[in-house]
Structure 1
Amino acid sequence: MRYADSLPEALYSADSVRAMDRYLIEEQGIDGFDLMQAAARAGFRQLRKHWSSLGSLLVLCGAGNNGGDGYLIAANAQRLGIYVECVAVAPSSKLTGDALRAFEAAKTESVPITEISDLAERLLQEKLLASDVIVDALLGTGVIGAPLAPFAEVIRAVNQAKRPVLAVDLPSGLDASTGAAAGNVVQAELTVTFIGAKAGLYTGMGPAVCGEVVFEPLATHEQINGCSEQPVARLARWRDCKAGFLPRPLNAHKGRFGHVLIVAGDFGFGGAGIMAAEAASRAGAGLVSLATRPEHVTAALVRCPNVMVRGVVHGSELTTLIEQADVIVCGPGIGKSAWGQQMLQQVLRSTKPRVLDADALNVMATRAAIPFGQHVLTPHPGEASRMLGCSVAEVEADRLVAAQKIQRIWGGVVLLKGAGTVIATGSEMPVVIAGGNPGMATGGMGDVLSGMLGAFIGQLNDIGLSTVAAASAHLTAGDKAAERLGYMAMLPTDVINDLPFVLKETDVIGVRNHREEE
């Protein structure tokens, strides 16, 4: 998923965006049809910008404002001599208000309009395949649940045609508030969204179906400022995290940048701890220690000679290591054996900041051990479902709510991994992290993130800011790796290799931290 620079920070529910639309019309005196025309012009402008050699266009129109936007986009295309056709998937006889005015405007411009009831399935497929671009103006933010006939069949035909799609406001079939998709959903290459940024475009199924997202406000800040609607989340990118970092002073020493202890790597999972330790080193930690199975010590030293590696057999051997550390990362590759549980119990007894990942979360899900103090929990949807006692589908149905539920139960900061990473702190609105790609869907990426989290927490004074910054830098480095390597060949170590360039390019060469060596 690509994000345009124009994207705002505030993310809203579908209900809030509709309320904002009503506010502009009822309180600010903006004519509803004028607002629809502005949306159509903005959508058409982005259409021409994205597909500069556009020759033919097929616009699929529903009822309501979304369909009205589609008819006006078609009218704009017709005026510029682009070959355009509309398919009325919602019967034009049922159009009312501004949508009906838009339909009449398209007819005035002599746009060919065909009712879906008059179009055989084969002919619809031919029209789809013959178009340079398809405009999805089928279903707006007011539709919840799986699309019904004939919309479901049209959406399926659009996806089968594999032609480029511009989605108006959001891909039809996607829940604008949650990012869930209960049925068929349009796969768009470009989504132009209006009035307020919808949270569902950036998490859940949103990143998979929206393509590039462009935001068009349609109103000035002054016009919308008086509206009382509150966002449900905040969108964060790596560039937004720079304010928390300061250059390292010339007299800096390793004691000022945190000592991270990684507790990881049972039999068969030695690489998890090694990758976490290497990632912590690359993310700027002053010192990194790795407590792992003795059998993994040699491999760890060969890979990361800068890391202090200790082979441990019993949990009691962690006591001194924990005392020396500023931050503890526990979970990558610890497994569910007695060894891993011993290690976790020792970590949970400490009041130092902790990052708990992977099987540490699975053990916690049994309620056998409840953490206290400052901690970051990093579940993927499967782990989240076990922590909440629900299905993965229920977690993915509303990722914002799921992250907040985990935070209320377990405290600390919760980082729910997956497409559209969600961070819940309890004290502020959830944060959705921009970035990431399918190449990161491979074993070990979470271990890299855990190491980075430990390093950032060791360098910053704010565990919430550290979590947002680490997640953002992780996804940005992953996107850089994908640019070089593509998706299929990416490895977690490629993200580690690109991390220095992310930090360097953004001028983040140091951190705010005044810890002195003892």
Structure 2
Amino acid sequence: MIPAVSRSLPESLYSADAVRAIDRYVIGQCQVPGFELMQRAASSVFRNMIKVWPEPGRLLVLCGAGNNGGDGYLVAASAVRHGLDVDCVAVTDPERLKGDALKAYQAAVGDGVGVRLWRELDEGARAVLFATAGLIVDGMLGTGVTGAPRAPFDDLIRRCNASLAPVLAIDLPSGLDATTGHAAGDVVRAVVTVTFIGLKTGLLTGQGSGCSGQVVFESLETEPFLDSCGEQPTARRVDWWGLRSRLPVRSAAAHKGHFGHLLIVSGDRGFGGAALLAAEAAIRSGAGLVTLATRPEHVMPALARCPSVMAQGVIHGSELVPMLSRASIVVCGPGLGQSSWGQQMLQQVVTSGKPQVLDADALNLLSQRVPVTANNHILTPHPGEAARLLGMTSAADVEEDRVAAAIRIQQEYGGTVLLKGAGTVITDGRETIIISGGNPGMATGGMGDVLSGMIGSLLAQVATPLEAATLAATLHLACADRASESKGYMGLIPTDVIDTLPLMLAEAERLSERRLREGLQGIDDAVDGE
């Protein structure tokens, strides 16, 4: 584990083009010299580096041709001034450098940094550099590079990833698309990424969420210029810790009718577990009433597992009609299957007009053009289901641009879309959200069923589908992170997330109660002072 660094990240997420435009605006219109911004960036990288690795050992700094390379040269200069052992390698020959990057190279050499040219090193010398490194600083490729890295960068990226030394990435890991989070080829796997000016969308979704490590944001004192630069964010970043205070506060006079009646339609033969996971997650997330409509053979296990849920066996779609009339919200899809049973159930749900969460096989049937007549639904595809909804070849096509894929699904199917996977994307056509959190332990069957139940439960308690999806997804990820602290990743299962739900909700409730008490105390103090 690395020592903790600041987890304070801004909400606004920008494309690579937007960040470059902001950078140009700050330099051209606000008269901040580009080299000064580069010096600020390098200082922030060095400061965060020492915070995480106070004794980094021998530093290997890899410098490319652009501003990232310039940042790298200045980081190497700071390290030399602080008495660290530094190997600084020019991946791009210095004679090709221009502008501020050239100025940074010259400043570094003037400060005593010995720069070695990668092309002049034999294989033995190259191997020694990586074998003796205690920490690698990646200053090779920046936001202006797209597509798969070419030689020699691809070889250097592979060497970074094969090294035992941790990697600190400047602005973004080399090889990553800063806008989409896609990596067309090799990409550096960083332990820490220090990024500047605008938080890049790609760092938090797709492969970016796995290769960026701990993301640290440094504004470089450009915040005053963001409002006037004219560049708009592509998405908004949220996490549970920032949203938990938005959970509805329950009145002392509340009763179950205030928190919705959720109907879960789930569990064809062989898929009863999905139904039970969704139902238990729903009741643990605060729904007033939860009814499970499932295959008759799943009723007894459901009651044994979770007697708080009203379980009813259904054989034909017509049996759902009276259940739908009593429900305020419907979840359909976990373990639904694609047989005639599942098709009947989905048909009744989508024609009911009730607010609904459609997941799993409901989405696979939807991709076969089952019509959705209302616009009050939440779709929760994983990348494979998203590909089917969009008529794409595979999940890999979706992962090339997760934000664009979610927006396309919303445009074609309406409602609110939650695209699962690393760096969850949520959009309702007006706003796009990316969620921080989660861990590799969530890569197991049943996690999505838990999420569906949670979304349905919260949809019965909050104002909008976007709010319900966002609260549920952030809570889901936070519970998985909390559970992994004791369970680890390999042993994490969906019921661990459900078991953690009451603990996380209780913390949020105590926070709300404390803020309420402090507010009332403030009113009392004001009255007493009159």
TM-score (norm 2): 0.94
1:79 corresponds to which letter in structure 2? R
CA distance in 2, matches of 1:62, 1:37: 16
Partner of 1:323: 325
CA distance in 2, matches of 1:440, 1:331: 19
Q: Is 1:340 aligned to residue 332 of structure 2? A: no
CA distance in 2, matches of 1:216, 1:85: 25
Q: Is 1:406 aligned to residue 412 of structure 2? A: no
CA distance in 1, matches of 2:345, 2:261: 18
Instruction: Provide closer, same or farther for how the CA distance between residues 508 and 442 of structure 1 changes in structure 2, counting only shifts above 3 A.
Output: farther
Q: How does 1:89-238 map to 2 (within 5 A)?
A: 89-238=91-240
CA distance in 2, matches of 1:241, 1:27: 36
Instruction: Provide closer, same or farther for how the CA distance between residues 333 and 469 of structure 1 changes in structure 2, counting only shifts above 3 A.
Output: same
Deviations 1:169-221 (A, max 9, x none): 00000000000000010010000000000000000100110000000000243
Q: Is 1:274 aligned to residue 279 of structure 2? A: no
Q: Is 1:16 aligned to residue 18 of structure 2? A: yes
Partner of 2:267: 265
Partner of 1:417: 420
In the TM superposition, residue 4 of structure 1 has moved relative to its aligned partner by 4.1
In the TM superposition, residue 13 of structure 1 has moved relative to its aligned partner by 0.3
Partner of 2:289: 287
CA distance in 1, matches of 2:141, 2:26: 22
Deviations 1:434-490 (A, max 9, x none): 111100000000000000000000011211111111111001101111111110000
CA distance in 1, matches of 2:511, 2:153: 52
Partner of 1:453: 455
Partner of 2:440: 438
CA distance in 2, matches of 1:368, 1:318: 18
CA distance in 2, matches of 1:256, 1:508: 21
In the TM superposition, residue 509 of structure 1 has moved relative to its aligned partner by 8.4
Secondary structure in 2 aligned to 1:135? strand
Secondary structure in 1 aligned to 2:187? coil
In the TM superposition, residue 109 of structure 1 has moved relative to its aligned partner by 1.6
Partner of 1:516: none
Partner of 2:310: 308
In the TM superposition, residue 369 of structure 1 has moved relative to its aligned partner by 3.2
CA distance in 2, matches of 1:371, 1:337: 22
In the TM superposition, residue 82 of structure 1 has moved relative to its aligned partner by 0.6
CA distance in 1, matches of 2:56, 2:181: 30
In the TM superposition, residue 241 of structure 1 has moved relative to its aligned partner by 2.2
CA distance in 2, matches of 1:97, 1:448: 53
In the TM superposition, residue 167 of structure 1 has moved relative to its aligned partner by 0.2
- Structure 1, 456-465 or 444-453: larger mean CA deviation: 456-465
Q: Give the paired residue count.
A: 510
In the TM superposition, residue 5 of structure 1 has moved relative to its aligned partner by 2.8
Q: Is 1:397 aligned to residue 387 of structure 2? A: no
In the TM superposition, residue 105 of structure 1 has moved relative to its aligned partner by 1.3
In the TM superposition, residue 508 of structure 1 has moved relative to its aligned partner by 6.8
**C-alpha contact 1:246 1:509 (8 A) present in aligned 2:** no
Q: How does 1:40-55 map to 2 (within 5 A)?
A: 40-55=42-57
CA distance in 2, matches of 1:286, 1:122: 68
CA distance in 1, matches of 2:350, 2:479: 31
CA distance in 2, matches of 1:356, 1:55: 52
Instruction: Provide closer, same or farther for how the CA distance between residues 109 and 509 of structure 1 changes in structure 2, counting only shifts above 3 A.
Output: closer
CA distance in 1, matches of 2:339, 2:226: 56
2:418 corresponds to which letter in structure 1? L
**C-alpha contact 1:413 1:425 (8 A) present in aligned 2:** yes
TM-score (norm 1): 0.96
Q: Alignment partner for residue 28 of structure 1, among 21, 27, 30?
A: 30
CA distance in 2, matches of 1:216, 1:508: 32
CA distance in 2, matches of 1:475, 1:10: 20
2:218 corresponds to which letter in structure 1? E
In the TM superposition, residue 224 of structure 1 has moved relative to its aligned partner by 3.3
- Structure 1, 133-142 or 45-54: larger mean CA deviation: 45-54
**C-alpha contact 2:26 2:222 (8 A) present in aligned 1:** no
Secondary structure in 1 aligned to 2:162? helix
In the TM superposition, residue 124 of structure 1 has moved relative to its aligned partner by 1.6
Deviations 1:235-291 (A, max 9, x none): 011123235333211111100011111100011110101000000011010111101
CA distance in 1, matches of 2:315, 2:511: 38
In the TM superposition, residue 158 of structure 1 has moved relative to its aligned partner by 1.0
CA distance in 2, matches of 1:423, 1:508: 28
Partner of 2:430: 427
Cα RMSD for the two superposed structures: 1.5
Secondary structure in 2 aligned to 1:506? helix
Q: How does 1:359-370 map to 2 (within 5 A)?
A: 359-370=361-372
Q: Which has the higher contact order (CA 8 A, sep 6+)?
A: 1
Secondary structure in 1 aligned to 2:199? coil
Instruction: Provide closer, same or farther for how the CA distance between residues 232 and 96 of structure 1 changes in structure 2, counting only shifts above 3 A.
Output: same
Partner of 2:256: 254
Q: Alignment partner for residue 481 of structure 2, among 479, 482, 488?
A: 479
Instruction: Provide closer, same or farther for how the CA distance between residues 318 and 508 of structure 1 changes in structure 2, counting only shifts above 3 A.
Output: farther
1:70 corresponds to which letter in structure 2? G
- Structure 1, 366-375 or 11-20: larger mean CA deviation: 366-375
Which stretches in structure 2 are left out of the alignment for 5+ residues? Answer: 514-530
